[in-house]
Chain A
């Protein structure tokens, strides 16, 4: 009796529900089929749904980068490195490391308009430098420029994102993500999300530049001199932080072959590798100590150490360069971990701005709060659906009309959840608000269909049904188009916590109008048409 051609809408709906069910539950099913595959053991929940920070707990940091940039700078034939040096000389509070001059390298990969000339940029990433100061410094150094603005260049942002991701991975914060977001006004932010970590930990990790250098501190005549002897990229490999019985905390490092002979020579010249080693008393008496090696993190001396007689011997003998390993000693193990992370991940070219006035946002949800929200919002949703069902049953007092209505509305949510699981979109409260909007408009539409189709007594032919259904659909389509249009601006913008809400409301309305609501019409016809 069931005519496939007549009921294709219902069949389509069932197919979609099945696909969604598959997307929601498939790995657990697959695990059962394989006889308990090990790779899904980590999936603790029953479904494949991923939860955003609001529903799982964790920290989200959104901050702009500190810096000012001049664009369209005429280098006048100077090497970018020289330009950077010259500009930094004119700036108070910015060292050569804070000034980067670039001949535009991104022009090839950006989708910029063809008329935009590849321009050269000078950016300063030290704190507290204003655009005016940069402009003055450029003029003083004799470079022409087109514009100066707040913010840093695209390549710097990309590098920051890459390094932050490294740092988070190195620190073992699993599931952490870093990405760039842009506001409606074209401002750029770096978005860091780390599940299950509290805000201060994450901030500590991402807020520091993470520069690590080794300096030699040695007497030259009356005074002491400090020279950088090893930099971040002079290391070939960096070990994990360790703590020995007698040695204290340290990070084992290997100096790269090209730098090792030079370092060896430096150690001999500065007197660090003298006969019998050196005893460092920098902390107590910086101006009366033997030569020291200083561990300088973010511009501050965090530890100072001397050299053991054995190491000094091998440095002087020249055999050290063949096997250039040594230990960076730190005061405690957590500092050693920090140094190790910073050395591996690299230093950030620009800092994240956390100031109250111009910074971004920080939010932290405790895991227990997240779990509570997850369960409670589910209960809230169910209660709302029950309220809808109650009203609908009372209004129509006909189970044949009301029951499919509730089932259809719920199937929209199932399909949306399946979609979210399928593409791995993390569920957040704003997405749940979207589900509520969908159920709301969905039930409205189903009421329109039901009233229209059942208007004026029995439906005794398919033609009558079709014409009524089409009439109802005009209203539904018009309302749906309005909703989609109303939500689309928010869905497109990558920033903003309402994006999930907008995306899922639009998706839900589209699924509703194209799949589930027409199917309800067919169900209703099957249940109410007299002539069959």
Chain B
């Protein structure tokens, strides 16, 4: 019978400082990446056309990829910003960034050019620069308000400083790490990835609250409570990760960008959550439990 059990980690072998060092180091690296990105590009993340304005055209072309790309380049009068192919379907996603200041080429013109060149247009979407800027404010504002709301709620629920900070800090790290990874891997911020970052707040808090609850509100030995919380929490996170990996692969094959983006970001975030919950949050809780109280 296949069976996986959550291994019991012997936390007594490590000091709090050792435990917290790894996630904090990763968080610092992530923040450096995000900060560096901001300095270099003027924006903390690579923003997709939903935020910067631009046009995306999806066309279906049969034949080898290089020939198809050649055909795409010759069809449009504007130089495409990117051309991506969707595996398993002969569909190509062509994006045109709207340039600041210039009026750019309109979506209608691009659609006509594609049709004139005999390409099978699957979808066209265009976003103006000002609308993109609006969406950006909405997305960032939504994320900010969500995070703030979560923090207040966590403080209200636990009413003790250190454990609450532990939850908020690991949630912050759970969001920062995937954003840094998105930058490194060239994944653009889209509506899908914003949705995923919002979902991460929920997922992240799930396992943290579980751990805090087991340790703070239950009787019993610290390590025993930790193990019980871990057994449940790790199962939860692994279940979600496996579902998201499978979803990402399927959605990528089918070319459903929104779902693929959500899946990818969630896989990063959930993996970060495993680390943050059971190293960062746990070490803070242990410090609070053994040193904070006796003080």
Contact = CB atoms under 8 A, between A and B. Distances in A.
Is this pair of chains taken from one and the same complex?
A: yes
Contacts, number: 251
A363 B202 contact: no
B38 interface: no
B251 A380 contact: yes
B235 A395 contact: yes
Interface string A464-483: 00000001001100110111
A355 B103 contact: yes
Nearest to A501: B195
A384 B153 contact: no
A372 B254 contact: yes
Interface string B96-115: 00100011101110011000
B192 to A, nearest CB: 7
A377 interface: yes
Nearest to A365: B123
A359 B125 contact: no
A429 interface: yes
A209 B86 CA distance: 40
Which of the listed residues A183, A368, A377, A387 has the most CB atoms from chain B within 10 Å of its own CB? A387
Nearest to A443: B239
Interface string A238-258: 000000000000000000000
Contacts of B103: 355-357
B243 interface: yes
A372 B142 CA distance: 31
Contacts of B89: 372
Interface string B116-156: 00001111111111110011011101100111011001100
Contacts of B102: 356
Contacts of A376: 250-251, 254-256
A489 B146 contact: yes
Contacts of B2: 394
B197 to A, nearest CB: 10
Contact of A200 (B58, B111, B266): B111
B6 to A, nearest CB: 9
A444 B123 contact: no
B28 interface: no
A390 B217 CA distance: 32
A432 B259 contact: yes
Given A200-B111, A447-B236, A482-B154, A355 B128 contact: yes
A392 interface: yes
B198 interface: yes
Given A199-B124, A447-B236, A474-B213, A377 B259 contact: yes
A55 to B, nearest CB: 10
Given A360-B131, A451-B232, A490-B198, A478 B126 contact: no
Given A185-B137, A433-B262, A493-B138, A379 B250 contact: yes
Contacts of A359: 128, 130-131
Interface in B174-211: 191-192, 194-195, 198-199, 201-203, 205-206, 209-210
B119 to A, nearest CB: 12
B53 interface: yes
Contacts of B153: 478, 481-482, 485
Contact of B125 (A362, A372, A489, A505): A362
B125 A447 contact: no
Contact of B242 (A363, A373, A388, A436): A388
Interface string A421-443: 00000000110110011011101
A359 B228 CA distance: 55
Which of the listed residues B50, B198, B206 has the most CB atoms from chain A within 10 Å of its own CB? B206
B146 A429 contact: no
B29 interface: no
Nearest to A479: B206
Interface of A is mostly: helix
Contact of B238 (A391, A478, A488): A391
Interface residues of B, number: 83
Given A356-B103, A444-B206, A184 B129 contact: no
A451 B259 CA distance: 30
A432 B255 CA distance: 15
- A: contact size bracket: 35 or more
Contact of A498 (B127, B195, B244): B195
A44 interface: no
Contacts of A373: 254, 256
Contact of B199 (A185, A187, A200, A437): A437
Which of the listed residues B98, B191, B232 has the most CB atoms from chain A within 10 Å of its own CB? B232
A361 B127 contact: yes
A290 B185 CA distance: 72
A386 B245 CA distance: 12
A394 B4 contact: yes
A354 interface: yes
Contacts of B203: 440-441, 444
A372 B123 CA distance: 12
Given A387-B242, A397-B1, A429-B259, A482 B236 contact: no
B178 to A, nearest CB: 15
Interface of B: 1-4, 50, 53, 58, 89, 98, 102-104, 106-108, 111-112, 120-131, 134-135, 137-139, 141-142, 145-147, 149-150, 153-154, 157, 191-192, 194-195, 198-199, 201-203, 205-206, 209-210, 213, 217-218, 228, 231-232, 235-236, 238-240, 242-247, 250-251, 254-256, 258-259, 262, 266
Q: Which 7 A-B pairs have the closest CB atoms?
A: A363-B125, A486-B146, A376-B254, A483-B202, A387-B246, A359-B128, A451-B232
18 contacts: A185-B137, A198-B111, A199-B107, A355-B103, A356-B53, A358-B128, A365-B122, A376-B254, A376-B255, A379-B254, A383-B246, A390-B242, A392-B239, A397-B3, A478-B213, A483-B201, A489-B142, A497-B191
Given A356-B98, A387-B243, 14 more contacts: A361-B126, A361-B128, A377-B251, A380-B251, A385-B243, A386-B246, A391-B235, A436-B247, A440-B266, A447-B235, A482-B154, A487-B198, A489-B146, A495-B134
